[in-house]
């Protein structure tokens, strides 16, 4: 499948890190380092940093995303933030279904689907995370798990809406652990996800969708991972908190 048919995107996932002054400093350092990027550049930041990030990235090639959103437009959901609230601020992207949300906050494939649909309805672009646990990989059911997560998350999503979705394959055992999937493992699962998308939609949709790899991607391994035919950039946790490291990954995906 032809890599030239889709855009590589490097997205940072800051998780629960950075105060507003720290966010401002990191973004100021990052702007000149990624200004000539040949791939999409997104930073997904805590809610409290969204306004700061939107202001600091104005007029640059860096897009801003949130790390989650609720499925309802408004209402009695204490502590939650709706997709419409994010869109109104000017936020463009939202991460949905990150494994930390699934692991610590009871996120299921069904709630992921509800959030995906709400985000699309609000006009946001979605970075949809899927990935297997270590025991699931060791049991040989990676494809079943990732296939099911993808199918349920995309329930009710039209082919037109799919253009606003990036899928991030993130093996849970590789997130924040320093254990990266090999380039072959990453490519194999990314390719499988593309075949799932082809079955759900068609070849054009499968060729066009950006499928990232995420899980301990860093300045050293980014070249090999992003060179894989089915790996269209990455979702970056730890290494997105240091501007030179994140910029090196952007440079790798720009080749
Ligand atoms: C992530 O949070 O999505 C992630 C991939 O984290 P890390 O790069 O730190 O493994």
Confidence of residue 24 (pLDDT cuts 50, 70, 90): very high
Domain boundaries, the chain: 9-242
Tens of pLDDT, residues 76-116: 999 999 999 999 999 999 999 999 999 999 999 999 999 99
Quick check: 42 and 12 in contact, CB under 8 A?
yes
Using one digit for the tens of pLDDT, what is the confidence trace for 195-252? Answer: 999 999 999 999 999 999 999 999 999 999 999 999 999 999 999 999 999 999 999 9
Q: What is the pLDDT of residue 1?
A: 54
> What global pTM score does this model have?
0.97
Reply yes or no on whether 191 is catalytic: no
Does the pLDDT value for residue 255 go beyond 70? yes
**Atom of ligand 1 at shortest distance to CA of 240?**
8
Mean pLDDT of 12-27: 98
C-alpha 182/C-alpha 151 separation (Å) is 25
Output the pLDDT for position 131: 98
The C-alpha atoms of residue 229 and residue 188 are separated, in whole angstroms, by 10
Query: How many angstroms separate the CA atoms of 156 and 33, rounded?
Result: 39
Residue 98 among the catalytic residues: yes
Stretch 29-52: mean pLDDT, rounded? 98
- Asked if residue 238 has its Cβ within 6 Å of ligand 1, the reply is yes
Pocket test for ligand 1, best of 18, 97, 215 (most atoms within 8 A of CB): 215
Tokens representing residue 106 in the block: 């009871």
Give the model's confidence band at 68: pLDDT under 50 very low, under 70 low, under 90 confident, else very high. Answer: very high
Which of the listed residues 13, 65, 66, 220 should we mutate to test ligand 1's pocket, taking the one with most ligand atoms within 8 A of CB?
Answer: 13
Which tokens hold the place of 26? 């990191």
pLDDT digits (tens, 9 = 90+) for 161-180: 999 999 999 999 999 898 88
35's tokens: 């200004």
Q: Whose CA is nearest to atom 4 of ligand 1?
A: 237
pLDDT of residue 227: 97
Q: Which CATH superfamily is domain 9-242 in?
A: Aldolase class I (3.20.20.70)
């Amino acid at each position: 499948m032809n890599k030239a048919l889709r855009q590589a995107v490097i997205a940072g996932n800051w998780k629960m890190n950075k105060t507003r002054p720290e966010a401002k400093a990191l973004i100021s350092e990052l702007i000149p380092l990624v200004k000539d990027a040949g791939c999409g550049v997104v930073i997904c930041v805590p809610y409290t940093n969204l306004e700061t990030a939107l202001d600091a990235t104005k007029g640059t090639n860096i897009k801003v995303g949130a790390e989650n959103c609720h499925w309802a437009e408004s209402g009695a959901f204490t502590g939650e933030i709706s997709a419409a609230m994010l869109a109104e601020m000017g936020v463009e992207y939202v991460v949905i279904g990150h494994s930390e949300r699934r692991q610590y906050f009871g996120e299921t494939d069904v709630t992921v689907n509800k959030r995906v649909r709400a985000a699309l309805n609000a006009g946001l672009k979605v970075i949809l995370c899927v990935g297997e646990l270590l025991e699931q990989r060791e049991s040989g059911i990676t494809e079943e798990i990732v296939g099911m997560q993808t199918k349920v998350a995309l329930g009710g999503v039209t082919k037109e809406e799919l253009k606003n979705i990036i899928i991030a394959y993130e093996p849970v055992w590789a997130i924040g652990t320093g254990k990266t999937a090999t380039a072959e493992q990453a490519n194999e699962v990314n390719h499988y996800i593309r075949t799932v998308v082809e079955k759900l939609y068609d070849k054009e949709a499968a060729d066009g969708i950006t499928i990232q790899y995420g899980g301990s991607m860093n300045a050293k391994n980014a070249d090999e991972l992003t060179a894989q035919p089915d790996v269209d950039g990455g979702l970056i946790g730890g290494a997105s908190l240091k501007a030179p490291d994140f910029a090196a990954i952007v440079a790798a995906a720009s080749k």
